[in-house]
Amino acid sequence: MGKVSLEGIEFHAYHGVFAEEQKLGNRFTVDIHVETDFRKAMLEDSLRDTVDYGKLYKIAKSHMQEPVRLLEHLGHLMIKDILIAYPNIQKVNIIIKKHNPALGGVVNYSVINVSFPEDYD
């Protein structure tokens, strides 16, 4: 068992409940953590035997380009596509941070943290 991670992926996107968020957009940071068995990749040095983090990045990017209202839903969509691409994955964890959310005060970021299988029981 091993872990493949991408941390600190940054996007400008238009997710949010409020009209101004959907119009102006905001800065987001995404972390993706995937647990899988990559012993064969360790021995054979082949990308096909592990999780391609280039593909993980493409999945995150595609979802960041399609606005949704809730970050929870956004995390779910990413997990769903990661599991389609890699059905043998043991665990996926997505963390999404919205920088400077429009809350009327100083807030560095709001955060959601969603995991498969924990949040899918």
**Band of the pLDDT at 26, cuts 50, 70, 90?**
very high
**Band of the pLDDT at 116, cuts 50, 70, 90?**
very high
Active-site annotation holder among 40, 61, 80, 98: 98
Is residue 13's pLDDT more than 70?
Answer: yes
Q: What is the 3-state secondary structure (H, E, C) of the chain?
A: CEEEEEEEEEEEECCCCCHHHHHHCEEEEEEEEEEECCHHHHHHCCHHHCCCHHHHHHHHHHHHCCCCCCHHHHHHHHHHHHHHHCCCCCEEEEEEEEECCCCCCCCCEEEEEEEECHHHC
- Under CATH, what is the fold of the domain 2-120? GTP Cyclohydrolase I, domain 2 (3.30.1130)
Is cis: bond before 117, omega within 30 of 0? yes
* Cα–Cα distance, 70 to 59 (Å, whole number): 18
Between 19 and 111, whose confidence is greater?
A: 111
- State pLDDT tens for residues 61-100: 999 999 999 999 999 999 999 999 999 999 999 999 999 9
Domain definitions of the chain by residue range: 2-120
Residue 98 is a catalytic residue: yes
Which amino acid is located at 85 in the chain? A
